[in-house]
Amino acid sequence: MTNNKNTHVNPFQVAQHQIEHAVEQLGLPQDVYERLKNPDRFMEAAIPVEMDDGKIRVFTGYRAQHNNVLGPYKGGIRFHPEVDADEVKALSIWMTIKCAVAQVPFGGGKGAVACNPQQMSAKEIERLSRRYIWAMSPILGSKVDIPAPDVNTNAQVMAWMADEYSKIRQYNDFGIVTGKPLEVGGCIGREAATGKGLAYVIREAARAKNLSLKNAVIALQGFGKVGSATARFLGKLGCKIIAVTDIFGGVYNKNGLDPEKLSEYCRETGSVKDFPGGTDIGNEELFALDCDILVPAALQNQITAETAPGIKAKIIVEGANGPTTPEADVILKEKNIFVVPDILANSGGVTVSYFEWVQNNYTYYWTEKEIESRLELKMVEAFNHVFAYMNQLENNVTMREAAFMYALQRLAEAMKMRGWCG
Ligand code: NAD
C-alpha cells in the first residue's frame, strides 16, 4: 500500500514553495512571503500518559499557529504514528490558505500527536487527549486558537478536549474546539460536512467541465470521515463509485459499490477490505482505473510522479490535505486533468466548524436546514470564485495556483492594512 513517507516529499517545503510561487505570480512584496513562510508560533510538548498497564509513556505533541491576520488560528488535531513537525507546519499553512479561500474568518493552525491510536484503548486515548489539551492550553483559546478533528480523531476526542479545557478555565468553554458531539455544543452535520462539501464541489466541477454526474464513474482513496461521507453524498447524486481503498486494502466493482452498505460494513469491521460484492484492489491500481473522477481522501503525497502518469480520470477533487506532490501536479497539468485542490475542495469541514463556533459564541443553535443551505452556498461560492478568478488570469494557471493567488491577495491586503508588511 502506498505510504505517505515513501515518496520523500517534505510537505512543509511544498507549502512554502506554493506561497512563494503565488507571491511571485501576483508581484507581491517579498516581505509577504517572509511573513508567511513559517508559522507565527510552533509548540512541541512532551505528553506523558499512563497506559492501561500502569506504565507511563511519553508521546510528542505539536501545535502550529501559522497566521491569524483574518481571525483566530484554526485547524484539526491528527493522531498518527508517522506525524512530524514539518507535516504539522505544512498543514497549518494550508489551513490559512483554505480559510482565506473559503472566506471564513479564521487563520491557520494544526496540531498532532505522534501515536498509533489503533493500538491504544479508549481510556488511553482519553488520557492522551486530555493531557494534550493541558499541555497546549497556554496557547489555545476560543478567540485565539480553536482545534478540530482530523485523521484518527473524532467528536468523542473533541468532547474530552472541551471538557479538559473547561476544567482548566473553570467555566464551560465549548467554543474551544469544534467537531464536538451535539450534546456538548456540536453542530448538526459537522461529522459529514467535509464529505458533503466535497460532493458539492464535485458537482460544481462536473458542471464546469460539462460532465454529467448521473452514472459518473468515481474512484475513491480513503474511507474515513471524509471519504465515507463523500461516497454517500455522491451516491445520492447518482454517481457510480467503482473502487474504494483504505489503509488495510480495497474493493472494486465495475458496476458500482453501494456506499451505504459499504459504510455499514466498514463501521462493523473497521475496513472496506473483503466487502462482499467486489474484488480486492490496491492504491496503485485504483489510481490507474478508467474513471471520470478520482477523489484522494486519505493522506498527503499519494498522487506522485510514479502514479500520476497512469491516471485516466478527467477530474481529480482532493479530499485529503496535500495528496498530490508538486511533480505529480506538473504531470496532471500536462495531461489536462482538472484538479480541484484541497484548499478549496475540503473546506466544508472548516466552514461548518465556523458555523459551530458562531453558535457556541451566541449560545443559539441553528436548524439542520439552515446549516445545510449555508454550507452549500459557501461551497458553491468558493468554487465559482476561484474558477472565475482562474479564467480571468492570462497564463494558463491551474485551479491550485488560482486558489493560492486568490488567498494570498486577501491575506496580503489584510496584512498591509494591519501594518504587518509592505
Ligand atoms: P480518518 O482518520 O477518518 O480517515 C482516514 C482514511 O484514510 C481511513 O479510511 C484510512 O484507512 C485511510 N488511509 C490511511 N492511509 C491510507 C493509505 N496509505 N491508503 C489508503 N487509505 C489510507 O481521517 P479523515 O478525517 O477522513 O481525513 C482524511 C483526509 O482529509 C486527511 O488528509 C485530512 O487532513 C483531510 N481533511 C479532513 C477533514 C475533516 O473534517 N475530517 C477536513 C479537511 C481535510
Residue with cell 496503485: 284
* Atom nearest to 272 CA in ligand 1: 9
Query: What's the CA gap between 308 and 391, in Å, rounded?
Result: 24
Rounded to two decimals, what is the model's pTM? Answer: 0.94
Residue 350 CA: nearest ligand 1 atom is: 42
Predicted pLDDT at 363: 94
Residue of 118, 221, 247 with the most ligand 1 atoms within 8 Å of its CB, for mutation: 247
Sorted by where each starts, the structural domains of the chain and their CATH numbers stand as 38-173 (3.40.50.10860), 193-345 (3.40.50.720)
**For the chain, how big is the Rg over CA atoms in Å?**
20
Residue 2 alpha carbon, nearest atom of ligand 1: 18
d(CA 82, CA 421): 35
Nearest to 308 by CA among 289, 290, 287, 282: 287
Q: State residue 5's pLDDT score.
A: 45
Q: What are phi and psi of 344, to 5 degrees?
A: -110, -50
Q: 3-state class of 59 per DSSP?
A: strand
Catalytic option among 98, 110, 196, 225: 110
110 is catalytic: yes
Q: Whose CA is nearest to atom 17 of ligand 1?
A: 247
Strands lying side by side in the sheet with 56-67: 41-50, 56-67, 108-114, 73-79, 145-149
Render each residue's pLDDT in the chain as its tens digit; 422 residues. 334 444 578 999 999 999 999 999 999 999 999 999 999 999 999 999 999 999 999 999 999 999 999 999 999 999 999 999 999 999 999 999 999 999 999 999 999 999 999 999 999 999 999 999 999 999 999 999 999 999 999 999 999 999 999 999 999 999 999 999 999 999 999 889 999 999 999 999 999 999 999 999 999 999 999 999 999 999 999 999 999 999 999 999 999 999 999 999 999 999 999 999 899 999 999 999 999 999 999 998 999 999 999 999 999 999 999 999 999 999 999 999 999 999 999 999 999 999 999 999 999 999 999 999 999 999 999 999 999 999 999 778 999 999 999 999 999 999 999 999 88
To test the ligand 1 pocket, which listed residue (104, 226, 262) has its Cβ within 8 A of the most ligand atoms? Answer: 226
